[in-house]
């Protein structure tokens, strides 16, 4: 979208605008000049121009643009087919409604896919739809639905015909077994993607982000491709194996060059080196231009891995980890480390403490990501280092009381620096309202209380998704709150976050999203002059 003309203004009036500044100021009006907030609270100021556009909010709630401090939106954009999020679907009837809307807007016979970001426990039926049920929903379109990274998955008749032709085993009911069969199905779908498909998918991912009110996404890179030795976000893919010669960032870079960004993205490079020489990490820090980009797209740091890691139960410190964190600290990179257990927290923090005797951690903005089992003792150690915690509500989809997720209350009460995100969109959901529901109720997608005693107030949770997150990319002076001189990112909600009942939280969305002073999403509920 075109940038605002120099000297242009947008004034939003007659609303309840929660600035999330340090005083939690609530005002009725805000003026945007060029791409920044210019006047907070006044309906007009003396320097206003004749090119001023006034938007009457009609009493609606406005918040700063939401910031997700850990997701994988770039990979979301590379999903094969016409990827369709079903994060809020509670039944097959809901899936049908979402798919029918998608089909109406897609080309004839488009392959409709939903890959990750949901779990069958959220549906009333507690299972995946069958081939016959998907045929009834989409009789003219192939459909493919996949849980998490490696399934299980399901398809309809048209989808089965395609997949079987590629050698994929599909059951009579459309079921595709997890692991190797699901990976084979995903590989077959990816093999027919074009570069233009990936650009279209990336546009779709950013549009979805804007519709939810997520204006800034901190992208944490790509893992090893299932069935391949390559990372999703680094190496050129092997054409003989069905991969195209482009890297994961190329579609996004093209869109950025063409001025087509509709969400801010901060790139974090992921490396899972097994070698002591750290070849991938070394290429990252030697070749990346950290000053590359602008306020829409920028390289910000490293994560969620910078070396091989005890992901699958191994709790000893990887042999190359001390060298990896030393290299990152020497170069001054921001870094966020994935952990899922208290043992992993100890691995990271112990190594950081040793490094801190030589290179101070505090100026680097390092953080522990996910923090599902972090303890008060480790929070104290982290705070002493000047580090931070980025808890993510991964268990929202299918967690249990024994797998309940981050101890949000303990983390916030500890006093450590903290901001929130999703770890979407494969094993979690990009939708921030589902994350905020989980953070404030402790309930999973099926409505089961799993995180009792660790919930936050709605205001606390929203702060973690807005004002507290700029710190993680050294942009707290630019994003996260509605204050004079900050980048003009805001969201007009379709209902009041602070007063709707708990279940209604999950259905919240944006009627108007503005990023950098541009309208990037508008449902038509509000009239924006000149749009």
Q: Residue 13 to residues 44, 56, 120, 439, 460: CA-CA distances in angstroms? A: 10, 5, 43, 31, 26
Residue 34 near residue 517 (C-beta atoms within 8 A) = yes
Structure tokens at 283: 């290429």
The answer to whether domain 79-191 and domain 195-473 are alike in fold is no
Question: Using one digit for the tens of pLDDT, what is the confidence trace for 228-260?
Answer: 555 555 544 444 444 455 578 889 999 999 999
Average pLDDT over residues 123-127: 98
Helix orientation angle between 180-191 and 157-165, rounded to the nearest 10 degrees: 90
Structure tokens at 400: 């249990």
With 60 as the cut, is the pLDDT of residue 521 above it? yes
pLDDT for the residue numbered 2: 46
Average pLDDT over residues 291-295: 84
Q: Return the domain boundaries, the chain.
A: 9-65+485-522, 79-191, 195-473
Give the H or E element holding residue 440.
helix 432-441
Most confidently predicted of 232-241, 268-277, 462-471: 462-471
Instruction: Give the global pTM.
Output: 0.94
The Cα 198–Cα 81 span in angstroms is 9
Residues present in the chain in total: 531
Residues 6+ apart with CB under 8 A from 197: 80
Residue 238 near residue 490 (C-beta atoms within 8 A) = no
Q: Distance between alpha carbon 295 and the CA centroid of its chain, in Å?
A: 17
With 60 as the cut, is the pLDDT of residue 45 above it? no
Mean pLDDT of the chain: 92
Alpha helix ranges (H) inside 84-144? 92-105, 131-137
Q: How many beta carbons lie within 10 A of that of residue 399, not counting itself?
A: 24
Based on its alpha-carbon atoms, the radius of gyration of the chain, rounded to whole angstroms, reads 23
Top CATH class, 79-191: alpha beta
Average pLDDT over residues 306-335: 90
pLDDT-derived band at 44 (thresholds 50, 70, 90) equals: low
Token pair 């989808």 is at which residue?
159
pLDDT for the residue numbered 224: 59
Report the sign of the C-alpha dihedral through residues 280, 298, 418, 88, in that order: negative
DSSP class of residue 122 equals G
With 80 as the cut, is the pLDDT of residue 316 above it? yes
The Cα 43–Cα 441 span in angstroms is 37
Question: Using one digit for the tens of pLDDT, what is the confidence trace for 378-431?
Answer: 999 999 999 999 999 999 999 999 999 999 999 999 999 999 999 999 999 999
Residue 102 near residue 112 (C-beta atoms within 8 A) = yes
Residue 225 near residue 483 (C-beta atoms within 8 A) = no
Residue 64 near residue 38 (C-beta atoms within 8 A) = no
Higher pLDDT, 300 or 289: 300
Question: Using one digit for the tens of pLDDT, what is the confidence trace for 421-446?
Answer: 999 999 999 999 999 999 999 999 99
CATH domain 195-473 topology = TIM Barrel (3.20.20)
With 70 as the cut, is the pLDDT of residue 225 above it? no
Give the H or E element holding residue 265.
strand 264-269
Nearest to 428 by CA among 29, 60, 116, 9: 116
The Cα 107–Cα 29 span in angstroms is 42
Residue 221 near residue 284 (C-beta atoms within 8 A) = no
Question: Using one digit for the tens of pLDDT, what is the confidence trace for 80-116?
Answer: 999 999 999 999 999 999 999 999 999 999 999 999 9
Instruction: Give percent helix, percent strand, percent coil of the chain, each to the nearest 5.
Output: 30, 20, 50
Average pLDDT over residues 279-283: 87
Residues 6+ apart with CB under 8 A from 492: 12, 15, 57, 60, 61, 62, 510, 511, 512, 513, 526
With 90 as the cut, is the pLDDT of residue 511 above it? yes
pLDDT for the residue numbered 288: 78
pLDDT for the residue numbered 146: 98
The Cα 59–Cα 227 span in angstroms is 53
The Cα 428–Cα 116 span in angstroms is 8
Beta bridge partners of 56: 13
Assign domain 9-65+485-522 one CATH number from 2.60.120.380, 2.60.40.1180, 2.30.40.10, 3.40.50.2300: 2.30.40.10
Nearest to 87 by CA among 406, 401, 403, 426: 426
């Amino acid at each position: 979208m075109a940038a605002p003309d120099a000297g242009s203004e947008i004034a939003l009036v007659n609303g309840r605008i929660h600035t999330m500044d340090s005083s939690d100021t609530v005002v009725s009006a805000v003026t945007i000049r060029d791409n920044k907030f210019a006047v907070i609270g006044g309906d007009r100021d003396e320097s206003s121009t004749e090119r001023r556009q006034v938007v009457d909010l009609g009493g609606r709630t406005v918040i700063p643009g939401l910031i997700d401090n850990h997701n994988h939106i770039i990979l979301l954009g590379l999903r094969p087919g016409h990827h369709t999020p079903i994060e809020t679907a509670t039944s097959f009837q809901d899936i049908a409604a979402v798919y029918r809307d998608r089909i109406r807007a897609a080309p004839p016979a488009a392959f409709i896919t939903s890959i990750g970001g949901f779990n069958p426990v959220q549906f009333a039926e507690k299972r995946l739809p069958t081939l016959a049920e998907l045929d009834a929903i989409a009789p003219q379109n192939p459909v493919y639905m996949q849980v998490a990274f490696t399934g299980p998955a399901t398809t309809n008749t048209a989808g089965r015909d395609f997949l079987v032709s590629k050698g994929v085993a599909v059951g009579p009911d459309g079921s595709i077994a997890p692991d190797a069969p699901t990976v084979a199905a995903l590989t077959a779908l990816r093999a027919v993607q074009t570069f233009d498909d990936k650009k279209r998918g990336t546009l779709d991912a950013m549009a979805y982000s804007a519709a939810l009110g997520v204006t800034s996404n901190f992208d944490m890179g790509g893992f090893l491709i299932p069935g391949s030795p390559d990372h999703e976000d680094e190496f050129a893919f092997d054409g003989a194996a069905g991969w195209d010669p482009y890297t994961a960032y190329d579609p996004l870079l093209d869109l950025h060059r063409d001025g087509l960004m509709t969400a801010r993205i901060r790139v974090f490079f992921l490396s899972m080196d097994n070698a002591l020489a750290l070849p991938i990490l070394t290429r990252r820090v030697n070749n990346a231009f950290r000053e590359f980009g602008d306020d829409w797209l920028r390289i910000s740091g490293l994560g969620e891995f910078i070396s091989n890691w005890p992901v699958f139960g191994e709790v000893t410190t990887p042999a190359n980890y001390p060298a990896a964190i030393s290299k990152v600290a020497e170069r001054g990179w921001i870094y966020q480390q994935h952990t899922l257990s208290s043992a992993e927290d100890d691995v990271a923090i112990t190594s950081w403490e040793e490094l801190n005797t030589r290179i101070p951690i505090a100026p680097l903005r390092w953080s522990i990501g996910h923090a599902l089992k972090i303890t008060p003792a480790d929070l104290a150690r982290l705070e002493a280092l000047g580090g931070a915690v980025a808890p993510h509500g991964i268990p929202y989809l299918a967690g249990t009381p024994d797998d309940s997720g981050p101890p949000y209350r303990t983390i916030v009460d500890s006093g450590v620096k903290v901001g929130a995100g999703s770890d979407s969109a494969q094993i979690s959901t990009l939708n921030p309202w589902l994350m905020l529901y989980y953070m404030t109720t402790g309930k999973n997608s099926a409505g089961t209380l799993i995180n009792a005693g660790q919930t936050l107030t709605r205001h606390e949770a929203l702060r973690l998704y807005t004002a507290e997150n700029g710190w993680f990319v050294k942009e707290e002076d630019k994003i996260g709150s509605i204050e004079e001189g900050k980048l003009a990112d805001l969201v007009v909600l379709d209902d009041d976050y602070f007063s709707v009942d708990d279940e209604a939280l999950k259905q919240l969305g944006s009627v108007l999203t503005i990023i950098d002073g541009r309208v990037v999403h508008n449902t038509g509920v509000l009239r924006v002059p000149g749009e």
